[in-house]
Amino acid sequence: MKNIHLGVFEELEKQFLNFPRNTFYDHCLRIIVEAQLNKLKYSDEGFEPNKLSRQDIYAKARGVNKNTVSSQVAKNKIKTDRLNVELEKFIESQPDCKQAFKDIGYLPEVISSVSEGGAKNKTYVWMSIRAIENEEEQIAKSAVFESEDYEDLSSITYERKATSEIKPSLFTKLFFKKGELKILSFRGILLMILLMLSFLVDICVAIFALLVILLLSELQNFKLWQAMLFVAFIPVAYLNWRYFFMPLYMLPYHRVVKAPMFFANINVDNTDIEMYRNKDKLNIARITEFTATCPICSGVIELAKGKPDQKQPLVGRCREAPHAHVYSFDRMTMRGCFLGMKDYSVNNALGL
Ligand SMILES: [Zn+2]
């Protein structure tokens, strides 16, 4: 007979692969179940769980170095109750998944060792299974989970990524030294000259293209393809102005901007530039990344343009629901409050 543990975990892994959601808790659950499967594949005997520390899970789910995760952060983010609620929600949301576990007769469940307090006593987290009881009991159980200390959904706390963890693009490396750029330095002035030059070129292209269009009938030996080539420069000039010049020009006023083209690494889909003053009151631009965990769906919140639905130029948008899970961004307090649609009640969204 097939090991029941193995059956349940394999089914869960399959369901996570079939219905991938890019949320923090789904990543955590996948990491836990995959760890169990790795262990089970080698032993045919009874189930012996593969226990993971909270730091391990947090670091893997976030894709960061384990050594940079403090035990306090891991403790706050990896809560067994919350993981079980999310696991139940995932199973409930996929009818196929629900049916599959019903057929097996067992459900997966997240378990943790009880921590005894002290600094050296780590809490370990793993997964086990439990027999499916009758349904009413289950519903009563999950209702208790949901009403227990639920996080505040109306506000979030942002995290700033360490400069050392950001992979800079080639263009950034040209100007930024270790992810930082002093504006009043050789490289800073070089970048400003480049910025001004690109702005001048933009204006020249626009004026020149305009003249060519206006004087087309006067210019006898000017061929049509040449005229078209000049007209084609207009969108290029516009793109340069809109996505390269303007973001950098606004940086001193907005203090934080999305990294414009060339600055963002092609392999990394989210980069921000922040400007701050050092102890000598000199402006320094720094490549960084602001993220938060969406309290509604645990997806990643990153900075994005506020337009067209928000007044602020920069807001935090959830990758999974960018127009519903919207939060403000305050770089000094690193906090944000819910800005979603007016009639959108957060509690309704969660079905509370
Ligand atoms: Zn969300």
Q: What is the pLDDT of residues 82-127, one digit of tens each?
A: 899 889 888 887 777 888 888 888 899 999 887 655 555 678 899 9
Would you say residue 329 has pLDDT above 50?
A: yes
The alpha carbon of 296 and the centre of ligand 1 are apart by a number of angstroms equal to 5
pLDDT at 222 over 90: no
Contact yes or no for 63/89 (Cβ under 8 A): no
Higher pLDDT, 342 or 133: 133
Q: What is the separation of C-alpha 280 from the centre of its chain, rounded to a whole number of angstroms?
A: 33
Going by C-beta distance under 8 Å and a sequence separation of 6 or more, which residues neighbour residue 310? 326, 339
Residue 304 CA to ligand 1 centre (angstroms)? 14
| Ligand 1 midpoint to CA 128 (Å) | 28
pLDDT at position 119: 55
pLDDT of res. 148: 47
CA-nearest of 51, 109, 48 to 80 is 109
Q: Is the peptide bond before 313 cis (omega within 30 degrees of 0)?
A: no
pLDDT band for position 147 (50/70/90)?
A: very low
- Could you give the CA distance from residue 137 to residue 49 in angstroms, rounded to a whole number? 27
For residue 186, pLDDT beyond 50: yes
pLDDT of residue 30: 92
Å from CA of 274 to ligand 1 middle: 24
- On average, the pLDDT of the chain sits at 81
Determine phi and psi for 67, rounding to 5 degrees. Answer: -70, -20
Q: pLDDT per residue over 279-288, tens digit each? A: 677 788 888 8
In this prediction, residue 347 carries a pLDDT of 54
3-state SS class at 125: strand
| Mean pLDDT, residues 142-147 | 52
CA–CA dist 342, 44 (Å, integer): 56
Rg of the chain taking only CA atoms, in angstroms:
27
Q: How confident is the model at residue 208 (pLDDT cuts 50, 70, 90)?
A: confident
CA of 126 to the centre of ligand 1 (A): 26
Q: Is the pLDDT of residue 317 over 90?
A: yes
- Give residue 83 CA to ligand 1 midpoint distance, Å: 16
pTM beyond cutoff 0.95: no
Helices (H), 78-154: 80-93, 95-104, 135-147
- Residue 295 Cα to ligand 1 midpoint, Å, equals 7
Ligand 1 center to residue 326 CA distance, Å? 8
Q: Ligand 1 centroid vs 31 CA: distance in angstroms? A: 20
The Å distance, Cα 241 to ligand 1 centre, comes to 32
Residue 65 has pLDDT above 90, yes or no: no
Residue 231's nearest CA partner among 203, 197, 205, 201 is: 205
Q: Give counts: helices (H), strands (E), the chain.
A: 12, 14
Q: What average pLDDT does the segment 156-172 reach?
A: 82
Per-residue pLDDT band for 183 (boundaries 50, 70, 90) equals: confident
**C-alpha of residue 351 to centroid of ligand 1, in Å:** 15
Q: Where are the domains of the chain?
A: 4-150, 167-288, 290-350
Element (H, E) at 239: helix 224-240
